[in-house]
Each structure stands twice: as C-alpha cells, then as structure tokens.
C-alpha cells in the first residue's frame, strides 16, 4: 500500500488494519457504516438495535477477520450479511420496537405546513409498519432491493439463497406490501392528496 490507507482497496485496508493501522480501520468503517446501519435499521425498526448491530459487525470483523473471504464477496456484501444475521438474532425484541419517523428537512422558501408534516409522518409510519409486518425473509430482500438498491445477485450472496429464491421472496414481499397499502393508496393518504 502506498502510505495512504484511504486510497487502498478494501482488502488492502483490512490487511493494514490487522497490522495495527487504525486509520485503515477508520476508513473501512467510514466506507460501510451508513450502509450497515441503514440495513440493520430497516430490518429491526430500532435505531438502538441498529447501532448495536453495526458495532457488532465491525467488532466481529476485527475479532475474526479470517471469516471474511474476498474471493466469495466484497467487504460491503460481507458486512451486510453479518448485519442480516445479527438483525435476525435481535428479531424477537427488535420487531416490537418502532422508530419515530424523522422530520423531513424543510426546503428554503417552501416550509411545509404542520398538516403536511403530520401527513408525511403518518405516511412514513404506515409504510414502515407495512414493511415490518412482512415475514423476515421477505422483509430483508425488499429492504436490500428497494432501500439499498442492490441487484438480485448481490442480495442472494447476502442472504445465502439462490437468485430464484430471492426473486420469489421479493415478488411476494412487493405483492403483500401493495395489498397492505392499497387502502391507503386508494384514499390518497400515501399519495399526499
């Protein structure tokens, strides 16, 4: 590596981390913390649990780096798979927790009215509850596809399933979500009318 750990590949950064270079680990963390946290948060519905999962993923990488195989998956994929496993372990208590919707940032010159803010919170709650009500295997593929924007092959790597199984789960998740939200969409509640 050329002295600048920030410029290194994931594998170079991991090697430097294992050799004691703290800045290399900080760069790995910087690159992947938001993705891991976002995935864990959407899986569990709890910021606190997502923080715990994120911390555990990165701590696990440091404690057992040999579990990561660069030939099988990229580091981001590996960390998301670890987040998936940890999120499922937290499932029994985390599924019951509900996060508070964040207030959207007001646009300059176009401050939303209190009613618009209330409606946005309600829409976010309805969608979040509908996603949380999905079966865990359907929820995880939906989150990875819709929120994380991953392709089916990457999702299959993360969840440890065949691409065909991922397609089926995603189709079922979308169908169930559509059916759950249909009432809200018909009366315009989710459309912002």
Q: What is the 3-state secondary structure (H, E, C) of the chain?
A: CCCCHHHCCHHHHHHHHHCCCHHHHHHHHHHHHHHHHHHHHHHHCCHHHHHHHHHHHHHHHHHCHHHCCCCCCCHHHHHHHHHHHHHHHCHHHHCCCCCCCCCCCCECCECCCHHHHHHHHHHHHHHHHHHHCCCHHHHHHHHHHHHCCCCHHHHHHHHCCCHHHHHHHHHHHHHHHHHHHHHHHHCCCCCCC
Give the model's pLDDT for residue 27: 93
Give residue-wise pLDDT tens across range 13-56. 988 888 888 899 999 999 999 999 998 888 888 888 899 999 99
Give residue-wise pLDDT tens across range 67-86. 888 888 889 889 998 998 88
Ramachandran region, residue 98 (left: φ > 0; alpha: ψ -120 to 50; beta: rest): beta
Give the model's pLDDT for residue 189: 53
Give the model's pLDDT for residue 103: 41
Give the model's pLDDT for residue 68: 85
Task: Kindly report the backbone phi and psi dihedral angles of residue 110, in degrees, each rounded to the nearest multiple of 5, phi listed first.
Answer: -135, 55
Q: Model pTM?
A: 0.58
Give the model's pLDDT for residue 55: 93
Give residue-wise pLDDT tens across range 90-139. 764 434 444 333 444 545 556 666 776 777 777 777 888 888 888 888 98
Quick one: pLDDT band at residue 193, thresholds 50, 70, 90?
Answer: very low
- Report the percentage of the chain scoring pLDDT > 70: 77
Q: Which two tokens stand for residue 86?
A: 């940890």
């Amino acid at each position: 590596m050329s002295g600048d750990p920030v410029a290194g590949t994931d594998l170079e950064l991991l090697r430097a981390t294992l050799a004691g270079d703290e800045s290399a680990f900080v760069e790995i963390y910087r690159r992947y913390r938001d993705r891991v946290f976002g995935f864990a948060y959407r899986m569990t519905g709890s910021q606190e649990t997502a923080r715990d999962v994120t911390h555990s993923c990165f701590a696990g990488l440091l404690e057992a780096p040999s579990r990561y195989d660069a030939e099988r998956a990229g580091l981001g994929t590996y960390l998301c798979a670890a987040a998936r496993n940890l999120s499922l372990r937290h499932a029994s208590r985390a599924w019951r927790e509900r996060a508070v919707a964040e207030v959207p940032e007001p646009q300059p010159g176009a401050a939303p009215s209190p009613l618009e803010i209330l409606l946005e919170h309600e829409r976010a709650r309805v969608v979040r509850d509908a996603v949380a009500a999905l079966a865990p295997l359907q929820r995880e593929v939906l989150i990875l596809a819709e929120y994380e924007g991953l392709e089916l092959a990457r999702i299959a790597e993360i969840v440890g399933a065949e691409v065909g199984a991922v397609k089926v789960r995603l189709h079922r998740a979308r169908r169930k979500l559509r059916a759950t939200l249909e009432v809200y969409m018909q009366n315009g509640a989710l459309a912002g009318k």
